[in-house]
Amino acid sequence: MDAGIGRRRRARAATGDARYAPAVALEPRLIIELPRGGAVESQLERDGLDAVRSGEVAIEAGPTDEQGNLEAAAAGQVVLSVPSPEALRRQAQDVERVIRAAGTGEEPLVISVGAAEEVREQEIAAVLDAAGHSRRPVILRIERDA
């Protein structure tokens, strides 16, 4: 099982000096929430993502209801909903635009993905790039398996 599944992994930044341990960032740039025991969790455990290994992305597998939908989020402002992860890559400019337009606040910004059976580096890259334009936490929420 990938060490990042089910808990936040902290990002590491190299100091450039071998005499010192790498610095540790306080938070990842992106949190992916997904159904526990679902296809995406299995894919990430099997294949992983470079962004997870680097600490830029944290994975949080959560409980589902009887229909397999991820249980309702406790907090967050939904800024974009897309039917599948492929839309994130195709609509990268929209992803960036809604993150930039969200303004300041305390609540995390949430991008909701209706259903997925896997996520690819290119799809996550679009959200990671956009997350770099906000001081607010960004959550990519996969609602259910495809």
pLDDT at 5 over 70: no
CA–CA separation, 34 vs 6, rounded Å?
A: 9
Q: In the chain, count of helices (H) and strands (E)? A: 5, 7
pLDDT of residue 6: 40
CA–CA separation, 101 vs 137, rounded Å?
A: 14
- With respect to residue 9, please indicate whether it lies within any of the assigned structural domains: no
CA–CA separation, 77 vs 113, rounded Å?
A: 14
What 3-state class would DSSP assign to 90?
Answer: helix
- With respect to residue 98, please indicate whether it lies within any of the assigned structural domains: yes
pLDDT of residue 62: 95
Tokens linked to 18: 């071998």
Tokens linked to 65: 């209801």
Segment 75-79 shows an average pLDDT of 92
User: Domain count of the chain?
Assistant: 1
Q: What's this model's pTM, rounded to 2 decimal places? A: 0.81
Structure confidence by residue, pLDDT tens digits, 104-128: 888 999 999 999 999 999 999 999 9
- With respect to residue 7, please indicate whether it lies within any of the assigned structural domains: no
pLDDT of residue 19: 52
pLDDT of residue 14: 35
pLDDT-based confidence at residue 37 (cuts at 50, 70, 90): very high
CA distances from 93 to 41, 51, 68, 108 (A): 27, 20, 31, 20
Segment 127-143 shows an average pLDDT of 95
pLDDT-based confidence at residue 140 (cuts at 50, 70, 90): very high
- With respect to residue 15, please indicate whether it lies within any of the assigned structural domains: no
Residue 84 domain boundaries:
25-142
- With respect to residue 105, please indicate whether it lies within any of the assigned structural domains: yes
CA–CA separation, 121 vs 51, rounded Å?
A: 8
pLDDT at 15 over 90: no
- With respect to residue 3, please indicate whether it lies within any of the assigned structural domains: no
Segment 41-59 shows an average pLDDT of 92
- With respect to residue 1, please indicate whether it lies within any of the assigned structural domains: no
- With respect to residue 59, please indicate whether it lies within any of the assigned structural domains: yes
